[in-house]
């Protein structure tokens, strides 16, 4: 993780300073990377293993993994995330881009995250999967109260799915658009002024 420069992070009113991925998870932060193939998935492993890996302690009984609990949880996530695959033991490298991305989302949601950071959440997925992923994200924010930070260079994606857009340039926030000012044209016009 990169060091912080300025500012504070608060989750549920409590200031946090996670220094490692494990500390971030413990604080309730989840990060879905843009490149799921090299950073987000264990491609030759099963869907089930990919989903439970960051929450493995929930499935350990003695020295072993509680297979029944892992299977039930994975099947529940299949349904909730609309994952289309023959079964939980299917290797992730046999999935479409959209299904693979939903597996990554399922993994991080299983941690009980309060803050979900999505970097390019629909890069490389088909139009149908993109719409499904957007619906899942909006539902999680609306129904579960999950705070979602979306990092994207896809302006329509941001305008359709966010309450506000913060424009960054060279590591600094340079503008904020929300409400009626947050249109594709307004965001694109602001981006054109940056060089």
> Per-residue pLDDT averaged across 105-120, rounded?
95
Pick from 107, 133, 120: nearest CA to 48? 107
Looking at every residue in the chain, the average pLDDT score rounds to 92
Which one is predicted more confidently, 165 or 5? 165
pLDDT at res. 25: 93
Residue 7: its pLDDT value, please?
80
pLDDT of residue 38: 86
Consecutive H or E run containing 75: helix 67-81
Position 2 scores a pLDDT of 65
1 has a pLDDT exceeding 80:
no
**Taking a C-beta distance cutoff of 8 angstroms, is the pair 101, 109 a contact?**
no
77-to-49, 60, 159 alpha-carbon distances in Å: 12, 18, 28
Find tokens 């499935």 and name the residue: 59
Question: Which of the four pLDDT bands, split at 50, 70 and 90, describes residue 171?
Answer: confident
Neighbour-count burial of 77, counting CB atoms closer than 10 A to its CB (0-12 exposed, 13-18 middle, 19+ buried): buried
Question: Residues 64-78: pLDDT tens digits?
Answer: 999 999 999 999 999
Give the pLDDT confidence of 22-37 residue by residue, as tens digits: 999 999 999 999 988 8
Q: In this prediction, what percent of the chain has a pLDDT beyond 70?
A: 97
Contact 183/159 with Cβ under 8 angstroms? yes
Question: Is the full-model pTM beyond 0.85?
Answer: yes
Q: Which CATH superfamily is domain 9-153 in?
A: P-loop containing nucleotide triphosphate hydrolases (3.40.50.300)
What is the per-residue pLDDT across 132-152, written as a single tens digit (0 to 9) for each? Answer: 999 999 999 999 999 999 999
């Amino acid at each position: 993780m990169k060091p912080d420069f300025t500012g504070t992070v608060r989750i549920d009113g409590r200031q946090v300073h996670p220094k490692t991925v494990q500390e971030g998870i413990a604080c309730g932060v989840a990060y879905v990377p843009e490149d799921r193939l090299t950073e987000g998935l264990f491609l030759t492993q099963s869907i089930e293993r990919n989903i439970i890996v960051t929450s493995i302690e929930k499935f350990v009984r003695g020295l072993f993994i509680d297979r029944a609990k892992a299977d039930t949880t994975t099947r529940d996530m299949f349904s909730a995330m609309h994952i289309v695959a023959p079964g939980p033991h299917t290797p992730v490298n046999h999935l479409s881009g959209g299904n693979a991305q939903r597996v990554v989302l399922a993994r991080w949601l299983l941690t009980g995250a309060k803050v979900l950071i999505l970097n390019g959440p629909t890069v490389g997925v088909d139009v149908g999967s993109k719409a499904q992923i957007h619906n899942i994200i909006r539902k999680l924010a609306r129904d579960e109260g999950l705070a979602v930070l979306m990092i994207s260079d896809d302006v329509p994606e941001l305008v359709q799915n966010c309450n506000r857009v913060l424009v960054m340039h060279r590591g600094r926030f340079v503008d904020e658009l929300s409400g009626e000012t947050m249109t594709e044209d307004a965001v694109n016009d602001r981006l054109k002024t940056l060089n």
